[in-house]
Amino acid sequence: MIEYWHNPRCSKSRQGLALLEEKGARLTVRRYLEEPPSLAELTSAWEALGRPPAAEMMRTGEKVFRELGLARSDADDKLLAAMSENPILIERPLALKGTRAVIGRPPERLLDLL
């Protein structure tokens, strides 16, 4: 089962969801802006991504990133906490399966979980 963190207003997120559905993937869709992940869930996702710099799983161009005075070079724990408190900062789409995760940019990367 793939857990798909989805924002229906995002074209890449919609494309990724359609791609996985087309391939017959078993999914649970989580609208993460309506049901934000906890800090523990974000940390687990970060670990499943292979513990990249946390900034790589963030939307650093979002206005709130600047308003919070964040920088790509900030400590991972600080950036993960910021995403937990401001889920709009989470890069989308993000898909998790077991101990693995993928950010669907481009959407075809999601196929790595199948």
**Beta-carbon contacts of residue 87 (< 8 Å; ≥ 6 apart):** 32, 33, 36, 37
Is residue 114 flagged as an active site residue?
Answer: no
Which residues partner with 72 through β-bridges?
A: none
Give the separation between CA 84 and CA 42, rounded to whole angstroms.
7
Amino acid at 80: L
Which one from 4, 10, 60, 98 is the annotated catalytic residue? 10
Provide, for the chain, the percentages of residues in helix, strand and coil under a 3-state DSSP scheme, each rounded to the nearest 5.
45, 20, 40
Which residues participate in catalysis according to the annotation? 10
